Amino acid sequence: MEKTKIGIVGCGKISGIYFKAGKTFEILDIKACADIMPDRAKAAAEANGCQAMTVEQLLADPEIQIVVNLTIPNAHYSVAMAAVAAGKSVHNEKPLTITREEGKKLLAAAKAKGVRVGCAPDTFMGGGLQTCRKLIDDGLIGQPVAATAFMTCRGHESWHPDPEFYYKVGGGPMFDMGPYYLTALVSMMGPIKRVTGSARVTFPERTITSQPKNGTKIKVDVPTHVAGVMDFASGAVGTIITTFDVWGANLPRIEIYGTNGSLSVPDPNGFGGVVKYYPPERKVEWKEMPLTHGYAENSRGIGVADMAYALRSGRAHRASGELAYHVLDVMHAFHDASSQNKHAMLESTTQRPAALPVGLAHGQLDA
Ligand SMILES: NC(=O)c1ccc[n+]([C@@H]2O[C@H](COP(=O)([O-])OP(=O)(O)OC[C@H]3O[C@@H](n4cnc5c(N)ncnc54)[C@H](O)[C@@H]3O)[C@@H](O)[C@H]2O)c1
């Protein structure tokens, strides 16, 4: 099979799994990588058998068709716009951009150039969430009437080597982890039309305890506890909490409650996990459901492979810029609702991405 050549920009913590995707998906060929810190690009290129380039060289390479943008949130927009200006499709790590205006400009620029914009997360394409999507589409729980989504932790300064960005604009628990939960919910239940929310900064200063910056203080610029309520266009009502302020909790990750039963959805920050179903009876046990789809192991980069197939056939790609823009709009809307003391109506909407077919061969996405 002729492969699609990929250039990775940003060779930090998350890049390793994307380099691995180049080996998993037969359509992908990671030709080059670049980083604002040239030593990082050099080390990643050596470790993964590709070429180290400057960002400018990578964007000028006529063979590279998709740029995978793994920079920090604050650089997502500028790097993606440069890729689009160079005539390349681009797949960003999440969030798509920091502001709505940037997101809109990026999608418009890509449309004008005839290139694609994609965005993480692509975990909704994993075996766990695709199984849930199929069970819902098959009518197992009837009509979804409500959903809950909870991401609780005490922040990332205990393990990430450079955790400052999590507490700056574009970070915070909603922009960092919300994309997993909201993308999963939209993929299963469709777009959101109205939200409200409350958000707070609990600790104005935090101390890094990971290496090499142990002891360094971070000034917190964004809310670190965000609670929200969502009205889906379907009429279902969702509740979400994302927080960097909680030491321990007994909450589920995602549950979907239907007219004919409930579904326990695995962690949307992963690809597999346990799916459970509660039937329309009283006082019975949750039943574990077998996964109907593959890619239940860490398959980050599956969205990039899907875009490569989509570019070839002309079909829509699943982890799309439109989906990511809707998620970005929802995340902002929780914060807007909190600061403006009101519900926020969503201007954006999106289609549910197509479900993955059952029975795909490993490493392939189209038959
Ligand atoms: N670390 C994780 O577990 C994780 C998980 C999922 C998603 N993400 C997302 O992935 C992205 C990167 O996260 P990370 O943890 O790898 O961060 P990181 O800080 O470890 O790596 C980011 C890299 O991008 C480079 N960079 C920054 N600006 C650049 C620019 N303008 N041009 C070229 N290179 C530039 C940095 O030098 C650095 O090497 C973020 O958007 C984050 O939200 C991270």
Tokens of 232: 């889906």
- What pTM was computed for the model? 0.97
131 Cα: distance to centroid of ligand 1 (angstroms) = 30
Tokens of 77: 């927009």
d(CA 7, CA 106): 19
Tokens of 106: 């990026």
179 Cα: distance to centroid of ligand 1 (angstroms) = 16
d(CA 326, CA 258): 24
Q: Which of 39, 70, 222 to mutate to test the pocket of ligand 1 (most atoms within 8 A of CB)?
A: 70
342 Cα: distance to centroid of ligand 1 (angstroms) = 34
> Dihedral of CA 117/123/126/130: which sign?
negative
The CA-to-CA distance between both ends of the chain, in Å, stands at 13
- Residues 6 or more apart in contact with residue 182 via CB below 8 angstroms: 149, 192, 240, 327, 330, 331
Tell me the average confidence (pLDDT) per consecutive run of 10 residues in the chain, 367 residues long: 96 97 96 98 98 98 98 96 98 97 98 98 98 98 98 97 94 97 98 98 98 97 98 98 98 98 98 98 97 97 98 97 98 98 98 96 89
93 Cα: distance to centroid of ligand 1 (angstroms) = 8
CB-defined site of ligand 1, < 6 Å: 9-14, 35-37, 40, 55, 70-73, 75, 79, 93-94, 162
d(CA 305, CA 318): 10
Amino acid 367: pLDDT: 67
Q: Is 105 exposed, middle or buried (0-12, 13-18, 19+ CB in 10 A)?
A: middle
Torsion of CA 257, 263, 264, 267, to 10 degrees: -100
Nearest to 264 by CA among 274, 250, 279: 274
**Model pLDDT for residues 242-258, shown as the tens digit of each residue:** 999 999 999 999 999 99
Nearest to 59 by CA among 22, 19, 113: 113
Amino acid 1: pLDDT: 82
d(CA 212, CA 164): 13
> Dihedral of CA 105/106/110/116: which sign?
negative
Torsion of CA 346, 255, 323, 237, to 10 degrees: -20
Round the CA-based radius of gyration of the chain to a whole number and report it: 20
Tokens of 23: 């080996």
For the CA of 162, the nearest atom of ligand 1? 19
Nearest to 98 by CA among 330, 332, 338: 332
Q: Give the ranges where 162-301 is alpha helix by DSSP (H).
A: 172-189
